[in-house]
Amino acid sequence: MLFSEATGRTVLSTGTAETVGTVSGFLVDPITARVVAIRLKRTHSRGDTVHWPDLTSFGVDNVTVASADVVTAATGAAKDLDSKAAQLLGKRLLTDAGAEIGTVDDIDFDPDNGAVISLLNSTGNVSGDRLIGCGSYAVVVKDAAGEQ
């Protein structure tokens, strides 16, 4: 599933069948290459973050959580990744050897476990297992001679 496809999805409480928000973004840990939390445009809650373990499903039509109580402020690793500098989309894509290989246009992730499958750019896809880090101006991936 692509970030661009998942953004805007409704987040529903399975306990009340009420909408608790819509997906507005993703917090990705580049070290583990996993989504650790989703950001919400909230409807009525105390926060704007749902940590990945608190999701009950990430489906093709909507995202579900057990209750609106899991929508909180970012904590732990998610709090550390909750900054513009930690966002992957739209940044230059560089190899650890210094080669620029494009811009991160979208991210393909596994909706079952949050694993980053690939980083999409105009020249192709870069496997998510090559992700090393993200800084204020670039996303860095392991160099793979001839591979993109």
- In angstroms, the CA 28 to CA 132 distance is 12
Report d(CA 17, CA 94) in Å as an integer: 43
C-alpha to C-alpha distance for 118 and 2, rounded to whole angstroms: 9
User: pLDDT at residue 148 above 60?
Assistant: no
Query: Into which CATH architecture does domain 86-141 fall?
Result: Roll (2.30)
What does the block give as tokens for 133?
């880090």
* Residue 147 confidence (pLDDT) above 60: no
pTM equals 0.91
Q: Kindly indicate whether the domain formed by 3-80 is annotated with CATH number 2.30.30.240.
A: yes
Q: Is the pLDDT of residue 44 over 80?
A: no
Mean pLDDT of the chain: 92
3-80 against 86-141: fold identical:
yes
Task: Give CA–CA dist 21/7, Å, rounded.
Answer: 11
- Domains in the chain: boundaries: 3-80, 86-141
The pLDDT of residue 79: 93
| Residue 139 pLDDT exceeds 90 | yes
Residue 30: predicted pLDDT: 94
How confident is the model at residue 43, as a pLDDT? Answer: 66
The H-or-E segment that residue 5 falls in is helix 3-6
